[in-house]
Structure 1
Amino acid sequence: MPFYPFFDSTMLLLLPAIIISFWAQTKINSTYSKYNEVRTVNGYTGQQVARMMLDDAGLYDVRIEVINSKLGDHYDPSNKVLRLSPDVYFGETISSAGIAAHEVGHALQHKEKYAPLVIRNSIVPAVNIGSSLSWILFIAGLFLGFKGLTTLGIILFLGVVVFQIITLPVEFNASTRALDILKSRGILYAEENKNAQKVLDAAAMTYVAATLMAISQLVRLIALSNRDD
Structure 2
Amino acid sequence: MYYGYGLDITYIFVIIGMIITLSASWRMKATFAKYERVRSESNLTGREVAERILRANGIYDVGVRPVSGRLTDHYDPRDKTVSLSEVIYNSTSVAAIAVAAHECGHAIQDNVGYVPLNLRSAFVPAANWGSRLAWPMIVIGLFLGYGNMSNIFIQIGIGMFLLAVIFQIITLPVEFDASKRALAELKSNNILPSGEDRSARKVLFAAAMTYVAAAASGVLQLLRLLLLFNGRGRRN
Q: TM-score range by the shorter chain?
A: over 0.9
* 1:134-153 equivalences in 2 (<5 Å): 134-144=134-144, 145=146, 146-153=150-157
Gaps of 5+ in 2: 1-6
Q: TM-score, normalised by structure 2?
A: 0.92
Cα contact 2:17–2:221 (8 A) shared by 1 = no
1:178 to 175, 182, 188: 182
Q: Quick one: distance in 1 between partners of 2:33 and 2:138?
A: 40
Cα offset, 1:155, TM superposition? 1.2
* 1:188-203 equivalences in 2 (<5 Å): 188-203=192-207
Q: Quick one: distance in 2 between partners of 1:135 and 1:113?
A: 34
For 2:206, the aligned partner's letter is: A
Q: Quick one: distance in 1 between partners of 2:47 and 2:9?
A: 48
Cα offset, 1:42, TM superposition? 1.1
Q: Quick one: distance in 1 between partners of 2:113 and 2:180?
A: 16
Tell me what 2:159 maps to.
Answer: 155
Give identity over the alignment, percent.
44
Cα contact 1:142–1:225 (8 A) shared by 2 = no
Write the deviation string for residues 182-222 of structure 1: whole angstroms up to 9, x where unpaired: 01111001110000000000000100010011101111111
Q: Quick one: distance in 2 between partners of 1:143 and 1:226?
A: 17
CA RMSD after TM alignment? 1.2
1:167 to 165, 171, 186: 171
Cα offset, 1:9, TM superposition? 3.7
Gaps of 5+ in 1: 1-6
Cα contact 1:140–1:149 (8 A) shared by 2 = yes
Q: TM-score, normalised by structure 1?
A: 0.94
Report the 3-state secondary structure (helix = DSSP H, G, I; strand = E; otherwise coil) of the residue aligned with 1:66.
strand
Cα offset, 1:123, TM superposition? 1.1
